[in-house]
Amino acid sequence: MTRIAFIGAGSVVFTQGLLADLFALELGPLQIALHDIDPERLETAAAAAAYIARERGVVPQISTHLERRAALDGADFVINIVQVGMNAATHADFEIPARYGIRQTIGDTLGVGGVFRALRTFPVLRGLAQDIADMCPDAWLLNYTNPMVMNVWYLKALGVRNVVGLCHSVYWTMQGLSELVGVPYDDVTYLAAGVNHQSWVLRFERGSENLYDRLDEAIAADPELLRRVRVDMYRRLGFYPTETSEHSAEYVPWYLGHAREVERLRLPIGAYLDIVAENLASYEHTRNALKTGDPVEVEPTMEYAPQIIHSIVTGTPRTVYGNVPNTGLIPNLQPGAVVEVPCLVDASGVRPTAVGALPAQCAALNRAYLSVAELAVQAAIEEDPRAIRQAVMVDPATAAALPVEQIWELCNDLVLAHRNYLDPSLRAALR
């Protein structure tokens, strides 16, 4: 029997989608172990899991656990979807930088928002890593929690053996590009690589046809496409980035710091706060519907975790995109850094494939991104509060917006706001 532990299962909407995908696959007998520290959300997640199982005609064993080790006991797979601090911490990540004039759209991957989301997540990941070592050392840890690169890098630094970070950005980018050029997705061949939320579409083809030519034609025919950040980046860099314009704007110094660019490219400042509100509303709707017996609509997600589980359990070969340590996979990015590359999956596990060197201009941007992540991880591993400030100092978007003294003041304010979540060694204000 395959045992799958969900850590942070109270993220009910995401849990529902993953379960809907899992229950649609031929996996044999299943144990679903749901863990969350919020009793109400855990109860809702369990009710949703039972509802989806009935709708899909499967009969898994579903258990709930407020204690994490019990959920992990004997797990074959661990899906991590925790969000430390929830809505209040996210609001602080936006509202405090905004006082300094920092514009953010999503704030979960890089920049000051991404750094502090990582710092408050690391203590939970450290506990999770120890519990996996004790309770299910051979399990595959499938991480969805952002910031992806920082979290997976930290987990590998702690010695977690079988960990891969998963994100749908490559898949949905290629779906969108295929639609834009008028070619069915199933007819498209592509290769992407780089870092999470800033990978690059290196090949985009149908047979011998280079579909970048069709993309150029589509852009020339529709001037409104020029008002997208990633189209602007593609035109200047020559390769299309694999994340939305809202995300992509935050990883470079060229857009959010300039009001004219924000207007030209229609960048939604604070967009993630709207997403937080929508997620809360969706959770409340699901909770209430399950209590009253009303139907709950659950859409399949096409996420990679269920596909990986199916491939490992059944031996069915697949290719997915994963975030893994750079063991020569992309030689012009930092060794040991977490990179996003195609991975082969079958009964032997997840095996990353070497891509080769990226175009120089793409690697240059990735290296800047990875420098921020490296310093954030260093802050936690070496218990060095100065490295927090240094990470934010070298962040491209923050450095373009603030002088260094204000960067340190901003970090002091965020350390104070998040101090209950941070390791004690990182809670000091620095001048």
| Burial (CB count within 10 angstroms: exposed 0-12, middle 13-18, buried 19+), residue 224 | exposed
Dihedral sign (CA 219, 225, 229, 232):
positive
Contact indicator for 84, 120 with CB cutoff of 8 Å:
yes
Q: Is residue 72 a contact partner of residue 137, using CB atoms and an 8 Å limit?
A: no
Determine the residue type at 113: G
Q: Kindly name the residue from 65, 91, 168, 285 that is annotated as catalytic.
A: 168
| Whether residue 168 lies in the annotated active site | yes
- Give the residue from 426, 390, 414 showing the smallest Cα distance to 104: 414
Instruction: Please indicate if the annotation marks 136 as binding a ligand.
Output: no
Q: Is there a contact between 101 and 401 (Cβ–Cβ < 8 Å)?
A: yes
Alpha helices for 182-242 (secondary structure H): 211-221, 229-237
346 contacts: CB under 8 Å, gap ≥ 6: 311, 312, 315, 316, 317, 318
Strands (E) in 179-317, as ranges, are: 189-195, 198-206, 209-210, 240-241
Q: What is the DSSP string of 26-57?
A: ---SEEEEEE-S-HHHHHHHHHHHHHHHHHHT
The one-character DSSP state at 23 is H
- Continuous segment of H or E residues that includes residue 65: strand 61-65
**203 burial class (0-12, 13-18, 19+ CB within 10 angstroms)?**
middle
- Asked whether the beta carbons of 119 and 383 are under 8 A apart, the reply is no
Residues 353 and 341: beta-carbon distance below 8 Å: yes
| Binding positions for substrate | 146
Residues designated as active site: 168
| Binding positions for Mn(2+) | 167, 197
